[in-house]
Every structure is written in C-alpha cells, then in structure tokens.
Amino acid sequence: MIEEGSKSSKSMVEKRQLFMEMRAQNFDVIRLSTYRTACKLRFVQKRCNLHLVDVWNMIEAFRDNGLSTLDHNAEINVSRLETILSSIFYQLNKRLPTTHQINVEQSIGLLLNFIVATYDSEGHGKLTVFAMKAMLATMCGGKILDKLRYIFSQISDSNGVMVYAKFDQFLREVLKLPTAVFEGPSFGYTEHSVRTCFPQQKKILLNTFLDVLMADPPPQYLVWLPLMHRLANVENVFHPVECSYCRSESMMGFRYRCQQCHGYQLCQSCFWRGHASGPHSNQHQMKEHSSWKSPAKKLSHAISKSLGCMPIGEPPHPVFPEAAERPQDLAHTTQLRPVANNMNDTVLISSGTPTPSKSTLESPSRLDEEHRLIARYAARLAAEASNSTQRQLIAELENKNREILQEIQRLRLEHEQASQPTPEKAQQNPTLLAELRLLRHRKDELERRMSALQESRRELMVQLEGLMRLLKDEEQKQASQTGSSPHSSPSHSASCTMPMPIRSTSAGSTPTHTPQDCLAGVGDDVLDAFSQGVPRNLRNDLLVAADSITNTMSSLVKELHSVDDGLEDEEENMRNGREKVSSLKHPGKRQSTPSF
C-alpha cells in the first residue's frame, strides 16, 4: 500500500511538473493576452522538444502507427498515444547529431501529461484521433504554411472545399490549448467561433483558407498561432538600440517604436509589461519591428521607394491551383505502393511494385492536398534511403567535428588572452584609426548633404509646379487676347499674368508683379524665355531638371554604400594589424588553423 501511494504521488508530481515550470517563468505579468498565450505555448513547445519536429515528421509518425486507416472520431487509449510519442522522439534522436541528443523519456513524459491534461481532463483515458492530430500539427515546429495546408487537408472534402462542420471540430480541439495554459477566457471556444473566422456563407478553397488564417491581423480566436511562429523567428534577433524605459543598451526579440513620441522605443519585456515613461502613454500606437536596419539602409530604402525603384512585395503565401489535381507519380524516385486509406489520411510507403487502389482510380482528386504534402516527404525519404551507405562517413565526420570544435575553443582562449587591452596595443596603429575616423566623418557629411538635397528637391518641385501653372495660364491668356485684341503686346500680357510669387531657396525678398522679380533665383533659361516677350515651352527643360535631381540622389545613395564598404574594409585591416602585432610579439607561437 505504501509503495502504491508513493507511485501515485510521483505520477501526480510528473503531471504537474510542466505547469509548475511554466508558472515559474512568470508569463502572467504580460498584460496582453495574445502575447501571454503565445509565450506560454512556445514554452510548452520548446520544453517538450516539439520545436525540433515538423509536420512532415508528424505525418510519418501517423503513418507508421496506423492512424491513416482510422476515422477521425475513432478513440485511442493513453498507452497507444505513448507509443506514438515514443516513435516521434526516437526518430528525432536518429536525425539529430550525437552532440545534440535529447532526453527522450523526459520529452515523452512531459508531452504525454500535457496532452492528457488538455484533452482528457475527466480521466476517461481516451482521446480521438482528430484531437491528437490537431494538437500535434499545431504545436510542432516548421513553417506555418505547411501546418495550415495539412490542417486543410483534414477538414476538406474530396473536391477540395472546406467542410464547416470539420472546421468547427478543429476549432473545438485547437482552442483547448489556450485553455490548458489558463487563457480560456480570452481564447475559449464559442458557438460563434466559425462565423467569426468565415463570416460569409460561401465555398472556402485552400487559397481562401490560407488568406484568412495568414492575414494581418488573423481571426481573433487564432491570433496567437502566427504570433507563436513570429516569436520563434525573432528569439535571436539583435537590435543595437537603447530601450527608452529600462535603458538597456541593446534588445533581443521584438522592438517597439511609438508612432507619436519621436525616437521612443521599447524592448519587448517593457512593452509586454506596459511600462512607459515621460510623455509616452500606453494608449499610443506602437509599431512592432522584427529586424534591424541601419540609418543608411533606411535612407536608401526611403529614397528608392520615393523614386519608384522598390520591387513589388511577394504575397503572404504561394497561390495553389483551385482545381484538385491527380496524385503525383513517385515511381521514378522509389518503388511505392499506397496503403489502405480513408479520405483524410493517405500516405505512400516504400515497398514492392506500385499497385493503385480502387478508390484512387475511381476518385483521382479526392486526396489532392494530402498527396501534395506527402509527395514531398516521400521524396525526402527516398533521398535518405539512397544515402544510407554514408552513415559511417557521417559518424567519422562527427568525430572530426568534435576535434575541430575543441581546437577552436583552445584557439579562442589563446586569442582572448593575447587580446587583453594594454597601453602598447592602444597605440599600435594610429594611421588606421585616423583613416577610420576620417571615413566616419565623411559618412556623416554625406548623410547631412543627403538631407539637404532632399529638402532642396522638395522645394524645387514646388517651384517647378508653380512655373508649369504660370506657363499654362500665360498660354491661355495669350490665346484669349489674340482672339479679342490682335494689337496687344506679349510683354504686357506676361507682366499682367504672373502675380504669383515663386519660392526660391536663395530669394528671401517680397516678390513684385514684374516677371523678372517673380522669377528671382530661377535658372537663366526661364529668365531668357520671359525676357524675349513670348515664353517658350519649358516642359522639356523642367523634366530634364527633375531627371538631374533624381540622378544626383541615386549617385549619393551609391556613395553612401561605398562609404559603408570602406568602413568594413578598415575594420578588417585593423583586425589584421592586431594579429600581425600579436605574432611579432610572440614569434615562438605558431597559429594553427583547423583543416576541414
């Protein structure tokens, strides 16, 4: 009795282990429920090592464990679920290098307890096949596009049209994940969830499904799903910017810029917790950045955009054919035969001669999306089978890699010891330092000149537009006066139709009504045109001036890029100089480099 009680208490501790570790991360201090939910599910994904498994590996595990022949509503017990998870993680360890192996038993135990707590809270010891597929396909790693394509293949009919009842079933199962991490009040299932995602009664095909779920913003009930993938993509992104609240000199992850307070930026920790300082308020609109661009790149990007040189942005996802296609023939890659299947899970495995099933021949388009997903994975399996003879070579390369890593670590320690700052090293190459400072000064001057040219260009455009209006009015008035009074002089009409002052960067006096005063500061071509009495057509001259401005801006952008390259070359020369000085100071030491 005592032994059974100890086993029961140990089992309860294992079931609560993942949730206790998640609470220790203190995610509840995040004020926005979307980020809070995404952070919690990302923690579960990484703690269970699901981020190392993609949807293709999941399809392989479903096939190997016979789930392709089961109906979505069929139930499996916890023992069979544990077998499936064991297959997933043991296959994962076979793909990973020996230096990055995971603890399989711990991963199985944590994930099994999380699934049971999520989908079998009443303790029946069973869950449906569809619930397990929805959970694993949502929580695994990989691209969100591949996940959504697989999910659509599970909720669509033989014609490639989404079945609303199946999508409703998918929402029921997938929204149990936020509930499991105590975010049910924000993202729990309701009867109106389906209509919130697809408000109109219409036929939903694959491209429409992807457009809705990958939109910005996505449906409210699933807004945490793409955010969880964005979190994975920015975990190692570095921003060399100071946080305006915590004064941290750099940021990792997301960066948030206020759209009202100039230069006010927050790291993701301060923004998620609602911190604010100075005139900034939490009610201000913030823009989320997932990457960093230098000021020079931002300026060149803005100029290229203003000149219409920006390439057309790519769509959020590829456009797939609307009509269902026949399953792909993979006989040229490996011998394949279809397994007995149902309409939702058809897979191809390597075996004997291809023998198409009767259902495939009768309905060639009923498994369109599933076949396209599995075709790529089957090709990958065929490539792995053809390279099985190289396993010994891979093991030898891994041993060699370990030796190289040890040598690199030794060299790094020697370099750190040799690169300790000393007064002699600080004065080792003053010429390079002076040239580097000169280049940086030149870069600052170019940036200031760029700003001045931008302002001059804007003012010149205003002047050109005013001149065009004056010429047009002058032509019209000359035409009208010619019709009414043929003896009127051109110079008189020119002096009477130009009361509008032309703004110039060099003229600050108040303009008069004479043509010469109105055109003070304008080029000689314009003055000559009005001094001759009859204004000539200056449209081509104005266009040439605009083209000259554009060419000047483009050449300045190129010069900025060349300065950036020069700075990088100078930094490389300084590093080489330090290495040469170090080698001269220690002539007995030979620098050894690893050979690959």
pLDDT at residue 475 in the model: 81
Q: How far is CA 177 from CA 132, 196, 269, in A?
A: 12, 19, 24
**Cα–Cα distance for residue pair 70/76, rounded to 1 Å:** 10
Tell me the one-letter amino acid at 333.
T
Q: What end-to-end distance do the CA atoms of the chain give, in Å?
A: 61
- Tell me if 294 sits within 8 A of 241, measured CB to CB: no
Quick one: tokens of 532?
Answer: 């001759």
- Written as tens digits, the pLDDT of the chain (596 aa) is 444 445 445 556 666 888 999 999 999 999 999 999 999 999 999 999 999 999 999 999 999 998 888 899 999 999 999 999 999 999 999 999 999 999 999 999 999 999 999 998 888 889 999 999 999 999 999 999 999 999 999 999 988 999 999 999 999 999 999 999 999 888 888 887 888 888 776 888 999 999 999 988 888 889 999 999 999 999 888 999 999 999 988 888 999 999 999 989 999 999 999 999 889 988 899 999 988 876 655 556 566 656 555 555 556 667 776 654 444 443 444 433 434 334 344 333 333 334 334 333 334 444 555 666 676 666 666 666 556 666 777 777 888 888 888 888 888 888 877 766 555 554 556 777 788 888 888 888 888 888 888 888 788 888 888 888 888 888 888 888 876 554 444 444 444 344 444 444 433 433 444 444 444 444 555 445 444 444 445 566 666 666 777 777 777 777 776 766 666 666 676 666 666 555 555 555 444 444 43
pLDDT at residue 532 in the model: 47
- Tell me if 418 sits within 8 A of 582, measured CB to CB: yes
* DSSP states of 100-132: G---HHHHHHHHHHHHHHHH-TT--SEEEHHHH
pLDDT at residue 267 in the model: 93
Quick one: tokens of 547?
Answer: 């083209």
**Cα–Cα distance for residue pair 111/141, rounded to 1 Å:** 14
Q: Which H, E and C letters describe 177-213, residue by residue? A: HHHHCCCHHHHCCCCCHHHHHCCCCCCCCHHHHHHHH
Adjacent-strand bridge partners of 255? 267, 289
Sign of CA pseudo-dihedral 575, 578, 584, 585: negative
Q: How far is CA 19 from CA 53, 141, 231, 362, in A?
A: 22, 21, 20, 49
- Burial (CB < 10 A; 0-12, 13-18, 19+), residue 156, is buried
Among 542, 498, 547, which residue's Cα sits nearest to residue 523? Answer: 542
Preceding amide of 315 cis, omega within 30? no
Tell me the one-letter amino acid at 464.
L
* DSSP states of 430-481: HHHHHHHHHHHHHHHHHHHHHHHHHHHHHHHHHHHHHHHHHHHHHHHHHHHH
pTM of the model: 0.53
pLDDT at residue 356 in the model: 38
